[in-house]
Chains A and B, each alone.
Chain A
Amino acid sequence: MATKTQEVEAKGGQSRHRSLGLSDDQALRIYEVMRLARAIDERMWLINRQGRAPFVISCQGQEGAQVGTAAALRPGHDWVAPYYRDAGVILWFGMTAKDQMLSFFARREDPNSGGRQMPGHFGSRRLHIVTGGSPVATQLLHAAGVALASKQRQEDAVTAAYFGEGGASQGDCHEAMNFAGIHKLGVIFVCENNGYAISVPQSRQMAIQNLADRAAGYGFPGVVVDGNDVLACYEVAGQAVERARRGEGPTLIEAKTYRFTAHSSDDDDKRYRQAEEVAIWRQKDPIQRYAKYLRESTTLTDPVEKEITERVDQQVDEATEYAEQAPDPTPDDLMTFVYKQGTVS
């Protein structure tokens, strides 16, 4: 079994997406979902700063790692257990701008939680998106359990579990990888390593450079990938998914990336990182980088870019308008669904 950590280098020149088996339409679809995730997030910040909604937590900067890995899965068949930044993942799995905005405004119609949870706490049984809470890394064990059920029923569904490098410090991360390794479960563990857990840098989170090195200790491969290179993320995720579907067990993917915003709308990142550092990473924006590639490969043209921009803007505008006017829950809603059947007993 290969357990050595690999570092995947981008390669392939102007037809990389085709060499990965992606059609031009699929490559553009990935681009559009990245753009949509970014546009929704930017709109949320605007509305938050205008005082019209209390809280934002962002995907910005991590869309490449998110959409690239999710695009290797089969929505509706496979499962994801996202963490709170994974707007790109859940949009790929079928959530919409409207769903996102209903959650942002905490409306009754919010499909994730009926306005009960903060934004970023995604969940949909129908879409195979495992509901998340706020304590980190708990979802990694849930992903192992979802994959165990697939194995018990001899189904080939793959489960992708997402987390940050901060979450990797939790005991549940170890317990999940250990269990998944023992039973060769069909899980891919995707760490979006953005360098900071709120303010604490990676160097105070772990003594190693690459989290992926830990995979060897669980008996499965670990891969480091440039998280701002969406096609590289797609490639390594594709290999991990194939391995999982063959019943050969988990893979740990460490996508090195960066968050452009503060931890949340209530954080001030100037207290712990330099503006220069943020500026350097903004030069590596996964969306701009991918757009550049798509243009160079003549997949993205001006008219197509214009269409995409119009579609994204329209979705965000309509979603915002709809959600802001959508009704709040009623006080009676406080008491429902403590248990599956009806109200508080």
Chain B
Amino acid sequence: MPQKTVIEAIREGMDEEMARDPSVFLIGEDVGQRGGVFLASDGLYKKYGEYRVIDSPLAESCIVGVAIGAAINGMRPIAEIQFADFIAPAMNQIIEEAARFCYRTAGDFNLPMVIRAPWGGGVHGALYHSQSIEATFAHIPGLKVVAPGTPADAKGLLKAAVRDPDPVLFLEHKRTYRLVKGEVPDGDGVVPIGKADVKREGKDLSLIAYGLMLTYCLEVAEKLAADGISAEVLDLRTIKPIDQAAIVATAKKTGKVLVVHEDTRFAGIAAEVMAIIMEHAFDALDAPLMRLTGPDVPAMPFNHVLEEAFMPNVDRILAKAKELAAY
């Protein structure tokens, strides 16, 4: 199987879905001639034309609101928010409209649409090009939230999102775009929404993560193995609906769990994962549940010292994992 980057996998996923289904189209800022600021849609404008790859005005509510309207009328839009940090102007359309359409019409309407947003830090993006938004949106019933960490999952989950009957927020960690390479199966390779994936088997403790933190946790597991500690790495892949069975299974298997995310701590995804384990695997635990997260500050500063102080990294995860292993 060919090795690809995350950004190549996403581009290929969009291309293949647009080729397969004429109702699929892309709308967002700079997605046309420019091919997107990260080149996620490079070449698609030329291939599919200005009404399948639409350069939107610089207005996020417009991007999402128009996508909703198109989805009402038989299309399957992919709405790109240039940076997850800029999604706030579209929150009314996402939360009050897209997420509520099916419920508020008792199933008469549904919105097959994807909102893609590059998220996460570690790229000197400062306060407004580094944010994590998954917990904010995972709290909203009616939305699905996906956060792949590998090229194969990015492509496979994007295809699942495009084919899904409900609105899916598709989060692409921008640090992984060119950093993370991996094998991507030829053909469809659809990865179902709502299924976590054990990326590494282990028996002594479990590391639960997603996005860029998955890559870091896999590195940590390798280092732990050198110390004779066997770590299992569970990749959530989908934040909502969360794969409760997979979380409970790994907790019961190892009895020790560390949840890692770079999103801020309070009411974050780790809190939800820990609550699930407390409700369903309490008797299996051999240590207190632990989490390593970004701190509760508004966002990641520009200065490199401050950025590094914000981001969980391999050293910090390793130290926390050793603390858990020794408990």
Beta-carbon contacts under 8 Å, B110-149 to A: 110, 141-142, 144
Q: Is the CB of A152 within 8 A of B75?
A: yes
Which residues of chain B are within 8 angstroms of A133 by Cβ–Cβ distance?
A: 96-97, 100, 104
For B61, B69, B104, the residue with the greatest tally of chain A CB atoms inside 10 Å of its CB is: B69
Residue on A nearest B89 in the bound complex, by CB: A171
Residue on B nearest A341 in the bound complex, by CB: B165
Which residues of chain A are within 8 angstroms of B227 by Cβ–Cβ distance?
A: none
Contact with A along B224-235 (1 / 0, CB 8 A): 000000000000
Which residues of chain A are within 8 angstroms of B70 by Cβ–Cβ distance?
A: 145-146, 148-149, 152
B25 at interface by CB-CB < 8 Å: yes
Q: Is the CB of B104 within 8 A of A121?
A: yes
B198 at interface by CB-CB < 8 Å: no
Q: Is the CB of A338 within 8 A of B142?
A: yes
B59, B72, B92: which contacts A138 (Cβ < 8 A)?
Answer: B92
B109 at interface by CB-CB < 8 Å: yes
B102 at interface by CB-CB < 8 Å: yes
Q: If the complex has contacts A131-B101, A339-B142, are A141 and B108 also in contact, measured as CB distance less than 8 A? A: no
- Work out how many contacts link A and B, with CB atoms closer than 8 A: 146
Which residues of chain B are within 8 angstroms of A337 by Cβ–Cβ distance?
A: 102-103, 105-107
Q: If the complex has contacts A138-B92, A178-B62, A338-B141, are A123 and B108 also in contact, measured as CB distance less than 8 A? A: yes
A75 at interface by CB-CB < 8 Å: no
A135 at interface by CB-CB < 8 Å: yes
Which residues of chain B are within 8 angstroms of A121 by Cβ–Cβ distance?
A: 104
Beta-carbon contacts under 8 Å, B286-305 to A: none
Cα–Cα, bound, A341→B110 (Å): 10
Residue on B nearest A117 in the bound complex, by CB: B104
Q: Is the CB of B105 within 8 A of A113?
A: yes
Which residues of chain A are within 8 angstroms of B110 by Cβ–Cβ distance?
A: 339-340
Cα–Cα, bound, A150→B65 (Å): 16
CB distance from A263 to the nearest CB of B (A): 20
A245 at interface by CB-CB < 8 Å: no
Number of interface residues of A (CB under 8 A): 49
Cα–Cα, bound, A133→B101 (Å): 9
Residue on B nearest A150 in the bound complex, by CB: B73
A55 at interface by CB-CB < 8 Å: no
Q: Is the CB of A116 within 8 A of B97?
A: no
Which residues of chain A are within 8 angstroms of B56 by Cβ–Cβ distance?
A: 179
Cα–Cα, bound, A150→B241 (Å): 33
CB distance from B99 to the nearest CB of A (A): 9
Which residues of chain A are within 8 angstroms of B108 by Cβ–Cβ distance?
A: 111, 123-126, 131
CB distance from B315 to the nearest CB of A (A): 37
Q: Is the CB of B66 within 8 A of A145?
A: yes
Which residues of chain B are within 8 angstroms of A182 by Cβ–Cβ distance?
A: 57
Residue on A nearest B51 in the bound complex, by CB: A152
Which residues of chain A are within 8 angstroms of B64 by Cβ–Cβ distance?
A: 141
B194 at interface by CB-CB < 8 Å: yes
Cα–Cα, bound, A130→B71 (Å): 11
B68 at interface by CB-CB < 8 Å: yes
Which residues of chain B are within 8 angstroms of A131 by Cβ–Cβ distance?
A: 101, 104-105, 108-109
CB distance from A272 to the nearest CB of B (A): 27
Beta-carbon contacts under 8 Å, A57-77 to B: none
Cα–Cα, bound, A175→B64 (Å): 11
Q: Is the CB of B73 within 8 A of A135?
A: no
Q: Is the CB of A340 within 8 A of B107?
A: yes
CB distance from A229 to the nearest CB of B (A): 30
Cα–Cα, bound, A337→B89 (Å): 26
Q: Is the CB of B105 within 8 A of A123?
A: yes
A24 at interface by CB-CB < 8 Å: no
Q: Is the CB of B106 within 8 A of A116?
A: yes
Cα–Cα, bound, A258→B56 (Å): 36
Q: Is the CB of A147 within 8 A of B69?
A: yes
Q: Is the CB of A152 within 8 A of B25?
A: yes
B93 at interface by CB-CB < 8 Å: yes
Q: If the complex has contacts A135-B96, A145-B69, are A172 and B74 also in contact, measured as CB distance less than 8 A? A: no
Cα–Cα, bound, A111→B67 (Å): 24
B262 at interface by CB-CB < 8 Å: no
Beta-carbon contacts under 8 Å, A166-190 to B: 171-172, 175-176, 178-179, 182
Q: Is the CB of A178 within 8 A of B106?
A: no
Q: Is the CB of B105 within 8 A of A145?
A: no
Q: Is the CB of A340 within 8 A of B72?
A: no
B166 at interface by CB-CB < 8 Å: yes
A336 at interface by CB-CB < 8 Å: yes
For B62, B73, B165, the residue with the greatest tally of chain A CB atoms inside 10 Å of its CB is: B73
Residue on B nearest A151 in the bound complex, by CB: B51
A145-B68, A172-B61, A341-B165 given; name 9 further pairs at CB < 8 Å. Answer: A111-B108, A125-B109, A141-B93, A142-B65, A149-B75, A179-B59, A337-B106, A339-B144, A339-B166
A-B contact pairs, 14 of them (CB 8 A): A112-B105, A114-B106, A123-B109, A125-B108, A141-B62, A145-B66, A145-B70, A146-B73, A147-B69, A148-B69, A182-B57, A338-B102, A339-B142, A339-B165
3 A-B pairs closest in CB distance: A145-B69, A141-B65, A114-B106
